[in-house]
Amino acid sequence: MNARPIKVAIVGGGCASMTTAWELSKAEHAGKFDITIYQEGWRLGGKGASGRGANGRIEEHGLHIWLGFYDNSFRMMRACHAELEAKGMGDLYGDWRDAWTPKNDIALCSQSPEGGFTNWRAHLPPRPGLPGDPLDQDQGFSLAHYCASAFDLFRALILDTSVNGHGVATASESTGDPDQLARRLTSLVKLGAFATTAGLAQVLGLLASLSRSATPENADALFGGIERICSAMRQWLEDQWLADSENRYLWEIADLTLATIVGMTRHRVWFDPRGLDALEDYECREFLHMHGASLRSLQSPFIRGLYDLSMGYEDGDMTKPALSAGQGLRGTMRTFFSYRGAFMWKMRAGMGDVVFAPLYTAMKERGVKFEFFHRLTNMGLANSADHVDSLTFDVQAKVKRGRAYDPLVPVAGKPCWPSQPVWEQLVGARKMQQQDWNLESHWDRRRADTKTLAVGEDFDLVVLGVGIGAIPYVASEFVERDPRWKSMCDNVKTVASQAFQVWLDKDLPDLGWPGPAYITGAFAKPFDTWCDMAHVVPEEGWKTRPKTSVYFCAVLPDPPQPPADDDRDYPARRNAEVRINAEEFLQGPVREVWPGAYDDNGGFRWDILKADEENPASLKLKGRARFASQYWRANVNPSDRYVIHTPGSHRHRISPLDMTYDNLTICGDWTDSGFPSGCVEGAVMSGLLAAHALSGSPKLEDITAYDHP
Ligand SMILES: Cc1cc2nc3c(=O)[nH]c(=O)nc-3n(C[C@H](O)[C@H](O)[C@H](O)COP(=O)(O)OP(=O)(O)OC[C@H]3O[C@@H](n4cnc5c(N)ncnc54)[C@H](O)[C@@H]3O)c2cc1C
């Protein structure tokens, strides 16, 4: 007997829900699931969406970088590229290694007391393997691994900075019976060996080895003397490095790492079944300070960079930094100690082109259906309160002759998402364009029709993958009737963000900022994070190419009063604000890093901005008005707001594995995913969990670092 396939309605086409669709549509399920993805507007990608605008240029929601520990994300994308290649579409999408470029260069900026900025630039060493490769036994995601890596790092720094060649034994302590190592460590600690540089290097070697084999049984030997060792280490560092401005940054990193180790030891995190979640209620800076980090390190660019990159500012207010210690430390340790291949990976083109176009194409080939222009307005909770009984949508636009919408357009021979709908395909397009319909705005409710799907007929299972900011609007019955959903919406916070991109007729070294294309953090407010993206320019459709393109990104403070739901102009007003912020930023702090972009009177040389070649009026723009030809945006839609991780919020997250409702699972970077963070990897892990909840696959042990402490 052939049972009919199970109809799965997936709402939202961001990283998380695309992952769920990818898993459920795999051949191993043999067509068991009949999947439809419902997506508002004309493109997939959500917070990671990008589009192509004039001159085929890439227009992003904001700067997106993949980190070298995004194992689950890379595994999916590697499989996707391999599948497309096997189906003869390799020419369109290429090998995954063409789609991502390894990057190991970071820069952090620090405002010096004399005014101006000093910059710390580093090249992180490439590591063996590639993200998404099978993992070995050690997994690289355990606390023991992080701790051992930290001790290894210190030991290397000690030997490298001042000791090597001065008679210190450099023998590694990497092998040996843990009990024997523990006994040696105990005796060295008793003898106060760490009081000398040579002894300290030896002690650190032992600590690294022991950390790798730490068990509750030998924990006392390992951690008993750790505070004394850390304070000796701090003393050593102060003597060697603090007075030396060259090494000041190293001292700050070391000071913060020591505070982390001491804090984790004092809180007995190493063998706590909750792992780093045990530190969830602490604010990250406060936690580090409590355990010995100096005020100076807490104001260092590393800490500011951590908060900037995780947009950890409540209400987008820079005076309200908020990041839980548990997730802050987990994210930092994974970033620095679990990467493979490169520390970071930059996408060759827009995230839409590199991630969502191949996923869309491969899944369409597999038979997954896509309903664009479908905005969920209500997920109906049955009277029995145990399942979803209906899904109601605004159909924002209809496709001519009842056809399926074909969303991709070619740019430089590659299928890409446009920054506007492909209007020719839509019924009533002229009217919509004349009236300026914004099909991605929460505040623009204009529509062509409505549609209600019923359980048992149109769908059996639901995957809700919208951003958490949209949940109160699309699942109000759940929020009103289920206290857990209410507390999740109240406590898992989000912030609006702002981004702008400029295309320049000069490259950055010409302007005074050295290569190689650093990602720069902890820079001046409001655009603290920026990156030279010269490598994407050849993918754009310019007749005469600009020399580079630079992306800036940051939080955007909320207004004192939230906008009314019918305030259709709200996104345009916020966009106008971002434009002013961007122009002032170019006239102001950017001079610290691109001195060559200013004329003799100190004014920004607006003429280095590459105008829109397709628009003669743009070519005539002079002075500050020329900025009109660049790209900027305010990400203020509820679903587009960036998810932050404030202290104490983790317990309010609901897991995709939660079985409260018979036919519903959730996914998104706002869920309890094993890596509860506003990032691609957290979203992908959540999508994998949602697929597991519905199908039992993938196995939980196959989700990298899901059960990591
Ligand atoms: C400016 C910015 C920069 C970032 N930089 C990075 C970075 O460098 N690295 C990194 O790893 N992460 C970064 N992130 C975070 C990353 O983009 C997100 O964590 C990730 O994309 C979230 O995916 P998601 O599937 O959980 O949610 P989303 O991407 O929000 O997906 C939700 C989907 O639901 C759709 N939707 C919403 N409401 C409805 C509705 N009513 N009906 C139908 N569909 C609906 C949306 O259109 C979207 O497709 C950044 C985020 C922002 C905002």
The per-residue DSSP string of 254-316 comes to: HHHHHHHHHHHHHTT-TT-TTGGGGGTTSBHHHHHHHTT--HHHHTSHHHHHHHHHTT-BGGG
- pLDDT tier, 162 (very low <50, low <70, confident <90, very high otherwise): very low
Is residue 175 scored above 60 in pLDDT? no
Is residue 369 scored above 80 in pLDDT? yes
The verdict on the CB of residue 641 being under 6 Å from ligand 1 is no
Query: Under 8 Å CB-to-CB from 619, ≥6 apart: which residues?
Result: 611, 612, 613
Is residue 659 scored above 60 in pLDDT? yes
Is residue 172 scored above 60 in pLDDT? no
Distance 15 CA to ligand 1 centre (A): 7
Secondary-structure class of domain 6-99+350-492+652-702 per CATH: alpha beta
Residues 122-142 have pLDDT tens digits of 888 899 999 999 987 656 788
Determine the average pLDDT of the residues in 311-321: 94
Residues 12-61 have pLDDT tens digits of 999 999 999 999 999 999 999 999 999 999 999 999 999 999 999 999 99
* Nearest atom, ligand 1, residue 17 CA: 25
**Residue from 23, 74, 372, 639 whose mutation best tests the ligand 1 pocket (most atoms within 8 A of CB):** 639
- Protein residue with its CA nearest to atom 20 in ligand 1: 680
Distance 683 CA to ligand 1 centre (A): 8
**Residue from 36, 64, 495 whose mutation best tests the ligand 1 pocket (most atoms within 8 A of CB):** 64
* Nearest atom, ligand 1, residue 497 CA: 1
Distance 666 CA to ligand 1 centre (A): 14
Of 110-119, 485-494, 676-685, minimum mean pLDDT range: 110-119
* Nearest atom, ligand 1, residue 669 CA: 26
Distance 664 CA to ligand 1 centre (A): 20
Is residue 223 scored above 80 in pLDDT? no
DSSP state of 427: T
Distance 12 CA to ligand 1 centre (A): 9
What pLDDT sits at residue 21? 99
The verdict on the CB of residue 467 being under 6 Å from ligand 1 is yes
The verdict on the CB of residue 669 being under 6 Å from ligand 1 is yes
Distance 71 CA to ligand 1 centre (A): 19
- Protein residue with its CA nearest to atom 33 in ligand 1: 12
* Nearest atom, ligand 1, residue 18 CA: 25
- pLDDT tier, 243 (very low <50, low <70, confident <90, very high otherwise): low
* Nearest atom, ligand 1, residue 683 CA: 26
For the chain, what's the residue count? 709
Distance 676 CA to ligand 1 centre (A): 14
**Residue from 37, 39, 47 whose mutation best tests the ligand 1 pocket (most atoms within 8 A of CB):** 47
Distance CA 355, CA 93 (A): 10
Note whether 168 and 198 are within 8 A (CB): yes
The verdict on the CB of residue 633 being under 6 Å from ligand 1 is no
Distance 139 CA to ligand 1 centre (A): 28
Nearest CA among 283, 463, 302 for reference residue 388? 463
- pLDDT tier, 166 (very low <50, low <70, confident <90, very high otherwise): very low
The verdict on the CB of residue 42 being under 6 Å from ligand 1 is no
254-258, 525-529, 665-669, range with greatest mean pLDDT:
665-669
What are residue 11's DSSP bridge partners? 38, 464
- pLDDT tier, 703 (very low <50, low <70, confident <90, very high otherwise): very high
Nearest CA among 416, 417, 372, 379 for reference residue 398? 372
Distance 217 CA to ligand 1 centre (A): 44
- Protein residue with its CA nearest to atom 35 in ligand 1: 12
The verdict on the CB of residue 610 being under 6 Å from ligand 1 is no
Is residue 407 scored above 90 in pLDDT? yes
The verdict on the CB of residue 466 being under 6 Å from ligand 1 is yes
Distance CA 463, CA 663 (A): 9
Is residue 520 scored above 50 in pLDDT? yes
- Number of other CB atoms surrounding residue 501 within 10 Å: 24
Nearest CA among 559, 149, 104 for reference residue 344? 104
Instruction: Please state the pTM of the whole predicted model.
Output: 0.95
- Protein residue with its CA nearest to atom 47 in ligand 1: 46
Distance 48 CA to ligand 1 centre (A): 5
Determine the average pLDDT of the residues in 620-648: 97
Of 108-117, 552-561, 665-674, minimum mean pLDDT range: 108-117
* Nearest atom, ligand 1, residue 13 CA: 49
Is residue 699 scored above 80 in pLDDT? yes
What pLDDT sits at residue 252? 87
What pLDDT sits at residue 190? 66
The verdict on the CB of residue 11 being under 6 Å from ligand 1 is yes
The verdict on the CB of residue 39 being under 6 Å from ligand 1 is yes
CA dihedral 77, 348, 125, 227 (to 10 degrees): -60
Is residue 262 scored above 80 in pLDDT? yes
What pLDDT sits at residue 53? 97
Nearest CA among 116, 333, 120 for reference residue 247? 120
- Number of other CB atoms surrounding residue 217 within 10 Å: 10
Is residue 567 scored above 80 in pLDDT? yes
227-241, 291-305, 649-663, range with greatest mean pLDDT:
649-663
Question: pLDDT exceeding 90 applies to what percent of the chain?
Answer: 74
Distance 10 CA to ligand 1 centre (A): 15
What pLDDT sits at residue 2? 61
* Nearest atom, ligand 1, residue 681 CA: 11
Of 258-272, 475-489, 559-573, 650-664, minimum mean pLDDT range: 258-272
Query: Under 8 Å CB-to-CB from 491, ≥6 apart: which residues?
Result: 646, 648, 649, 652
- Protein residue with its CA nearest to atom 19 in ligand 1: 679
Distance 289 CA to ligand 1 centre (A): 33
The verdict on the CB of residue 19 being under 6 Å from ligand 1 is no
Is residue 302 scored above 80 in pLDDT? yes
Is residue 391 scored above 80 in pLDDT? yes
The verdict on the CB of residue 337 being under 6 Å from ligand 1 is no
**Which run of H or of E encompasses 111?**
strand 105-111
Distance CA 295, CA 281 (A): 21
Average model confidence (pLDDT) across the chain:
91
The verdict on the CB of residue 376 being under 6 Å from ligand 1 is yes
The verdict on the CB of residue 465 being under 6 Å from ligand 1 is yes
Q: At 574, give phi and psi (nearest 5°).
A: -70, -35
Distance 446 CA to ligand 1 centre (A): 23
Is residue 244 scored above 70 in pLDDT? no
Of 155-164, 226-235, 364-373, 395-404, minimum mean pLDDT range: 155-164
- Protein residue with its CA nearest to atom 45 in ligand 1: 12
- Protein residue with its CA nearest to atom 18 in ligand 1: 679
Q: Label residues 601-621 b or e (16+ Cβ within 10 Å = b).
A: eeebbbebbbbbbeeeebeeb
The residue extents of the domains of the chain are 6-99+350-492+652-702, 142-310+325-337
Determine the average pLDDT of the residues in 680-693: 98
Is residue 565 scored above 80 in pLDDT? yes
The verdict on the CB of residue 639 being under 6 Å from ligand 1 is yes
**Residue from 679, 681, 689 whose mutation best tests the ligand 1 pocket (most atoms within 8 A of CB):** 679
Distance CA 244, CA 617 (A): 54
- Protein residue with its CA nearest to atom 31 in ligand 1: 14
